[in-house]
């Protein structure tokens, strides 16, 4: 992907302006006879809501469309105002000064995507692999640098990072180590995810504190390719007998909740029967990068291989019988 393509994806989650409301007395009011609006505080100007904004307000406060329809106008406004105040803090998302959506709960560090990409590129991480816009108005970006390590001669992995953040502050920013296997019979790449670093409430109270955290952890995640490759080598030494292959594959599918990727994993295993734990891991990461564009499935595959890797290399647990070696 190009940087422009990444920014275009990010634009789909950042096409609104956030306004955080933490007043103890927000109110839901009516403009004219039909349009709902939010009055963030007694002296504030009302924010008119679009039709979608009105529906999303009802969802935010835990009411149903039927409840709104059954309540009289005045009763609905009073009930919705009380339920909205009970949120403690919420965010109104506006487009052209019209409220179109709401976010409940805590507001985290809002991340400037241009600065995030510049920071990664300053560390020589500038080859963008994939970008996932998520429903909670956050984004996951996978990017690669130039570092390459060999698991064995002819089987190499390339270092990178995976970052998750929100331009609107809807999630706690995260940085994960990430690599791509460069050897694959169809010429494509395979992803691996290792440890995840989390910013505590956004990495600090001030912007500089966050950006120090972001830069340091992007660098740490990228430089972790050496220890990651050592784990991969250890997994390659963990042999799996032909009679145990089916059981090992079923085990990682079951424990990783990968039922939706099961068919793709089994089909790949028929093409390239796994000989060791490294091969088993790559069956799952191949499915996560080739068989789906659904980030939730990709995330489950990432978690499954991370847990599988740790069970084999750290806890020394057999991937088939789950007993200690």
> Number of H helices and number of E strands within the chain?
11, 11
Residues 26-54: tens digit of each pLDDT? 999 988 878 999 998 888 899 999 999 99
Q: What is the pTM of this model?
A: 0.81
- Residue closest to 79 by CA, chosen among 36, 122, 45, 115: 36
Residues 61-107: tens digit of each pLDDT? 898 888 888 888 889 999 999 998 888 888 899 999 999 998 887 77
- Residue closest to 132 by CA, chosen among 16, 293, 291, 4: 293
Q: In sequence order, what are the beta bridge partners of 149?
A: 157
When pLDDT is averaged across residues 144-154 and rounded to a whole number, the result is: 93
pLDDT band at 9 (very low <50, low <70, confident <90, very high): very high
Residues 235-294: tens digit of each pLDDT? 999 999 999 999 999 999 999 999 999 999 999 999 999 999 999 999 998 998 888 889
More confident residue, 205 or 55: 55
Which residue carries 């005045």 as its tokens? 74
Give the tokens for residue 187.
């010429």
pLDDT band at 314 (very low <50, low <70, confident <90, very high): low
Maximal CA-CA distance, the chain: 74
Residues 204-217: tens digit of each pLDDT? 445 678 899 999 99
Residues 6+ apart with CB under 8 A from 271: 185
Give the tokens for residue 275.
């000989």
Q: CA torsion sign, 141 to 144 to 150 to 153?
A: positive
More confident residue, 308 or 202: 308
Q: What's the pLDDT at 3?
A: 95
Instruction: State the burial class of residue 96 (Cβ atoms within 10 Å of its Cβ: 0-12, 13-18, 19+).
Output: exposed
């Amino acid at each position: 992907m190009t940087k422009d393509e990444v920014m275009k994806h990010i634009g789909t989650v950042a096409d609104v302006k956030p306004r955080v409301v933490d007043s103890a007395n927000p109110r839901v009011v009516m403009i004219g006879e039909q349009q709902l609006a939010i009055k963030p505080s007694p002296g504030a100007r009302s924010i008119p809501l679009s039709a979608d904004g009105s529906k999303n307000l009802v969802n935010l406060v835990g009411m149903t469309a039927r409840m709104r329809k059954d309540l009289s106008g005045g009763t609905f406004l009073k009930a919705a105002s009380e339920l909205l105040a009970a949120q403690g803090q919420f965010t109104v998302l506006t487009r052209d000064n019209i409220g179109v959506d709401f976010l409940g709960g805590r507001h985290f560090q809002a991340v400037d995507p241009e600065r995030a990409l510049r920071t990664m590129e300053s560390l020589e991480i500038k080859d963008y692999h994939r970008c996932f816009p998520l429903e909670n108005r956050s984004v996951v970006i996978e990017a690669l640098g130039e570092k390459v390590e060999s698991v064995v001669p002819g089987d190499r992995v390339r270092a990178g990072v995976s970052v998750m953040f929100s331009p609107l502050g809807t999630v706690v920013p995260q940085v994960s180590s990430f690599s791509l296997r460069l050897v694959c019979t169809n010429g494509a790449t395979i992803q691996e995810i290792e440890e995840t670093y989390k910013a505590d409430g956004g990495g600090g109270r001030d912007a500089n504190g966050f950006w120090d955290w972001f830069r340091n952890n992007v660098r740490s995640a990228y430089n972790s390719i050496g220890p990651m490759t050592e784990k991969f080598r250890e997994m390659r030494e963990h042999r799996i007998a032909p009679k145990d292959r089916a059981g090992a594959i079923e085990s990682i599918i079951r424990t990783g909740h990968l039922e939706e990727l099961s068919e793709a994993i089994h089909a790949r295993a028929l093409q390239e029967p796994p000989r060791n734990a490294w091969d088993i891991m790559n069956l799952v990461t191949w499915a996560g990068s080739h068989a789906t564009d659904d980030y939730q499935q990709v995330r489950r595959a990432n978690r499954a291989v991370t847990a599988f890797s740790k069970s084999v290399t750290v806890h020394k647990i057999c991937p088939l019988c789950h007993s200690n070696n």
